[in-house]
């Protein structure tokens, strides 16, 4: 039977480099001559486009039914890019000139769809990766996937993890959650404050998402409160006629981080006032230094702070426990709420499917080596979208990965020209 598989794959290889062997009705093994990219979000698209520009084909695998599933399926309607568009564009293609400085969710999705079309990126959708492991005997990565049509194992020389920092929702365990009885959702399920009109809603988490959800609830005539569990840096989105982020990047060319941080805090105090007066104490470390050390992003205010100052949004301490239709806080106070929105962020899911412990930390699913050195591992393993520096970091990693793989591609292609030898090697170890 093995000889039959071998003859079949050898015949296909003459016409199709992505040749495969069928193992019964529900399982196939597919040889991929270029890299396999796991995740068709912005990072995966950027990696595929950079490789395409180098003449290196790739196969993009996505567990959902569309590209950028986080943006399309798990974000609220009012979402806009928090940074100016020039800092969020992917390699080799700018945003349309008529897009605003801060594109909307819908505009960003349109940009990504145009990006995929321009570079002829066609992901394999609805296929979840269950495991990816380097086979030292075979000398290749074995990427196992499942779908309604059955199991498929992809065999490849290079593997690019592009599932990113935001693959899975973080839902904290809160005592008494089963007693609450009201609506309790993560922001990945929140779309609009219109469904909460006239209701008291508690938002847990004071990052950019939590702040924007509170503002959205206010704009839809809800009565929101915000749980602030830690210190937080709040900066105006724009200062001195420029975006705060753009101004910071320009200043960092000439000044050390601590000086730029001091400048940002002084200007923020002038524009926003003392946020500590409203229960929003700042960390001891400056916003840029804190971002570099911990990855914690400062909040760029788009109007939420004014609502907090006016009392339309109330600040609450950490939750002690939940009760029926009410919340007990750590200060002993108890307040009734109709709903709770958990703006508690996301996490990487790499440890769930990638079987290696050298490049990625099992604790947080992020590369062990900090930016800018976390994009390359052993045996042809790469990472894109894990820099804690957003789309700008993903673009940098994508270019590095494409350059690195290109250097190997010509030499590897010489070996692949004798592809009839590969199926025998693959078949031998399956």
Cα 208 from chain centroid?
A: 15
pLDDT at residue 294 tops 90: no
Q: List CB contacts of 35: < 8 A, sequence separation 6 or more.
A: 47, 51, 56, 58, 59, 156, 157, 158, 159, 160, 380, 382, 405
| DSSP class of 374 | -
Q: What is the distance between the alpha carbons of residues 33 and 20, in angstroms, rounded to a whole number?
A: 12
Q: What is the distance between the alpha carbons of residues 278 and 276, in angstroms, rounded to a whole number?
A: 5
Q: List CB contacts of 156: < 8 A, sequence separation 6 or more.
A: 31, 32, 33, 34, 35, 36, 59, 140, 141, 143
pLDDT at residue 24 tops 50: no
Mean per-residue pLDDT for 253-261? 96
Q: What is the distance between the alpha carbons of residues 59 and 52, in angstroms, rounded to a whole number?
A: 11
E strands within 67-157? 128-135, 140-146, 151-156
Q: Check if the beta carbon of residue 85 is closer than 8 Å to that of residue 98.
A: no
pLDDT at residue 391 tops 90: yes
**Residue pointed to by tokens 């505009």:** 107
pLDDT at residue 278 tops 50: yes
Q: What does residue 106 show for φ and ψ, rounded to 5 degrees? A: -65, -40
Lowest mean pLDDT among 79-88, 257-266, 421-430: 421-430
Give the pLDDT score at 265: 97
What's the pTM? 0.89
Q: Is 12 helix (H, G, I), strand (E, B) or coil?
A: helix
Give the pLDDT score at 4: 40
**Nearest-CA neighbor of 151 among 20, 273, 327?**
20
Q: Check if the beta carbon of residue 29 is closer than 8 Å to that of residue 155.
A: yes
pLDDT at residue 21 tops 80: no
DSSP per-residue letters across 226-274: EE--S---EEESEETTEEHHHHHHHHTTTS-HHHHHHHHHHHHHHHH--
Express each pLDDT in 172-185 by its tens digit.
Answer: 999 999 999 999 99
Domain coordinates in residue numbering, the chain: 2-167+348-429, 172-346
Mean per-residue pLDDT for 240-266? 95
Binning pLDDT at 50, 70 and 90, where does residue 28 land? confident
pLDDT at residue 51 tops 50: yes
pLDDT at residue 420 tops 50: no
Q: What is the distance between the alpha carbons of residues 420 and 424, in angstroms, rounded to a whole number?
A: 7
Mean per-residue pLDDT for 27-50? 95
CATH number of 172-346: 3.50.50.60
| Angle 213-215-217 from CA coordinates, rounded to 5° | 70
Q: Check if the beta carbon of residue 152 is closer than 8 Å to that of residue 25.
A: no
Q: What is the distance between the alpha carbons of residues 405 and 109, in angstroms, rounded to a whole number?
A: 28
Q: Check if the beta carbon of residue 46 is closer than 8 Å to that of residue 90.
A: yes
Express each pLDDT in 66-90 by its tens digit.
Answer: 999 999 999 999 999 999 999 999 9
Span between the terminal Cα atoms of the chain, in Å:
13
Which tokens belong to 72?
């399309």
Which tokens belong to 118?
């321009």
Q: Is 218 helix (H, G, I), strand (E, B) or coil?
A: helix
Cα 310 from chain centroid?
A: 34
Instruction: Give yes or no on whether 2-167+348-429 and 172-346 have one common fold.
Output: yes
Binning pLDDT at 50, 70 and 90, where does residue 5 land? very low
CATH superfamily entry for domain 2-167+348-429: FAD/NAD(P)-binding domain (3.50.50.60)
Lowest mean pLDDT among 22-26, 64-68, 198-202, 204-208: 22-26
């Amino acid at each position: 039977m093995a000889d039959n598989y071998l003859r079949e794959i050898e015949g296909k290889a003459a016409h199709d480099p992505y040749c495969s062997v069928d193992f019964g009705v529900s399982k196939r093994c597919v040889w991929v001559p270029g890299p396999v990219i796991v995740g068709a979000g912005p990072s995966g698209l950027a990696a595929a486009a950079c490789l395409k520009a180098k003449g290196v084909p790739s196969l993009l695998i996505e567990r959902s039914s569309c590209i950028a599933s986080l943006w399309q399926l798990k974000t609220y309607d009012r979402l806009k890019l928090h940074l100016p568009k020039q800092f969020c564009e992917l390699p080799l293609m700018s945003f349309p000139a008529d897009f605003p400085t801060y594109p909307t969710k819908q505009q960003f999705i349109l940009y990504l769809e145009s990006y995929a079309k321009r570079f002829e990126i066609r992901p394999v959708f609805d296929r979840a990766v269950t495991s990816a492991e380097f086979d030292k005997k075979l000398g290749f990565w074995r990427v196992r996937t499942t779908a309604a049509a059955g199991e498929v194992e992809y065999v490849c020389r290079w593997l690019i993890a592009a599932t990113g920092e935001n693959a899975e929702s973080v839902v904290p365990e809160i005592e008494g959650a089963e007693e609450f009885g009201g609506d309790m959702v993560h922001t990945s399920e929140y779309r609009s404050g219109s469904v909460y009109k006239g209701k008291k809603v508690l938002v847990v988490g004071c990052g950019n998402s939590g702040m924007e959800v509170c503002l959205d609830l206010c704009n839809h005539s809800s009565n929101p409160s915000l749980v602030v569990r830690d210190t937080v840096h709040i900066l105006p989105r724009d200062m001195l006629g420029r975006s705060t982020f753009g101004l910071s990047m320009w200043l960092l060319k000439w000044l050390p981080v601590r000086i730029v941080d001091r400048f940002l805090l002084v200007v923020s105090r002038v524009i926003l006032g003392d946020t500590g007066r409203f229960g929003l104490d700042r960390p001891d470390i400056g916003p840029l230094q804190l971002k570099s050390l911990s990855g914690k992003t400062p909040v760029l205010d788009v109007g939420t702070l004014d609502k907090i100052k006016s009392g339309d949004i109330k600040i609450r301490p950490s939750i002690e426990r939940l009760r029926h239709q009410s919340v007990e806080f750590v200060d002993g106070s108890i307040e009734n709420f109709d709903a709770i929105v958990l703006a508690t962020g996301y996490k990487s899911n790499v440890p769930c499917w990638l079987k290696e412990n050298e490049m990625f930390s099992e604790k947080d699913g992020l590369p062990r080596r900090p930016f800018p050195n976390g994009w390359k591992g052993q045996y042809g393993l790469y990472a894109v979208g894990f820099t804690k520096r957003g789309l700008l970091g993903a673009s940098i990693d994508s270019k590095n990965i494409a350059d690195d793989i290109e250097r190997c591609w010509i030499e590897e292609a010489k070996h692949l020209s004798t592809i009839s030898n590969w199926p025998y090697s693959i078949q031998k170890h399956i």
